[in-house]
Amino acid sequence: MAANSVAAAELVNTFTAVFEEAEEGGYIAYVAEVPGTTTQGETLDEARENLREAVELVLETNRRLALEQHEGRGRMQERLIIDSK
């Protein structure tokens, strides 16, 4: 692998999912560590699945935008592994 490229590897992360009962019924859900991942669902299971999808989309989009922002510039990229406690 070239020094300036990062292979898309499957990473496993743990986030804090927050579920609140909505006044009109159902649930509002968000991830505390990832701004922009607010969603909803009629049931807790639906809210949980919608939230999982929202997090995946936000992280995928942020990664793509970050790579595009620096395209054509001299750069180095490497994986940064953070062991959260």
Euclidean distance between CA atoms 28 and 21, whole angstroms: 6
Give residue-wise pLDDT tens across range 7-64.
555 667 889 999 999 999 999 999 999 998 999 999 999 999 999 999 999 999 988 8
Helix (H) / strand (E) element for 40: namely strand 39-41
Residue 3 lies in a domain: no
Residue 42 lies in a domain: yes
* pLDDT score of 11: 67
Structural domain harbouring 56: 17-69
This prediction's pTM: 0.72
User: Given CA atoms 64, 65, 66, 70 in this order, what sign does their dihedral have?
Assistant: positive
If one counts the domains in the chain, the total is 1
Residue 83 lies in a domain: no
Residue 76 lies in a domain: no
* pLDDT score of 85: 64
Residue 59 lies in a domain: yes
Residue 75 lies in a domain: no
